[in-house]
Amino acid sequence: MEEKKTEVKIRPMKEEDYRKVYGLWKTIKGFGIRSVDDSREGVGRFIRRNPSTSMVAEAEGEIVGAVLCGHDGRRGCFYHVCVREDYRKQGIGKRMAVQAMKALQEEQINKVCLIAFKKNEVGNSFWKSVGWTFREDLNYYDFVLNDENITTFQ
């Protein structure tokens, strides 16, 4: 795998980025995409609610990384953090995370969390390597409110 050496710009995600971001998601092995939440309408709603906190990494007009980031007024959360395979190990994921965290701080949010699938070895290794704390003191629970919001894995 050849490493890319082009300039990568980190910027806030816009609704117009959806097609390219969704295309990136489709290339990520093991990535879960929800039929409703990750649709154009679902992502648009998320970005309108959180207009400055989600980020993309752009190189040569292509989206090579993305993080959906939002908050509820108290705590931020990262969703769908990914970097295209041929752009990994260049600090892009960390740069996107830092920009998103700075945006959260500007909105007076003091803590951010994320969920990584246990089988996501690349992601789990990355988050630990950049100083995130693995929590062993809590359990995570879900309750499905919309059975039509089906997750498919790449």
pLDDT tens digits for 70-89?
Answer: 999 999 999 999 999 999 99
User: Percent of the chain beyond pLDDT 70?
Assistant: 97
pLDDT attached to residue 30: 80
Residue 143 binned pLDDT confidence (cut-offs 50, 70, 90): confident
Residue 135 DSSP SS3: coil
Q: Token match 């007024």: residue?
A: 73
Element (H, E) at 91: none
Residue 2 binned pLDDT confidence (cut-offs 50, 70, 90): low
pLDDT attached to residue 147: 84
Q: What is the pTM of this model?
A: 0.87
129-153 mean pLDDT: 85
107-115 mean pLDDT: 94
Q: What's the pLDDT tens digit per position in 21-48?
A: 999 999 998 888 999 999 999 999 999 9
Residue 98 binned pLDDT confidence (cut-offs 50, 70, 90): very high
Q: Token match 């971001």: residue?
A: 21
Q: Is 110 left (phi over 0), alpha (psi -120 to 50) or beta?
A: alpha
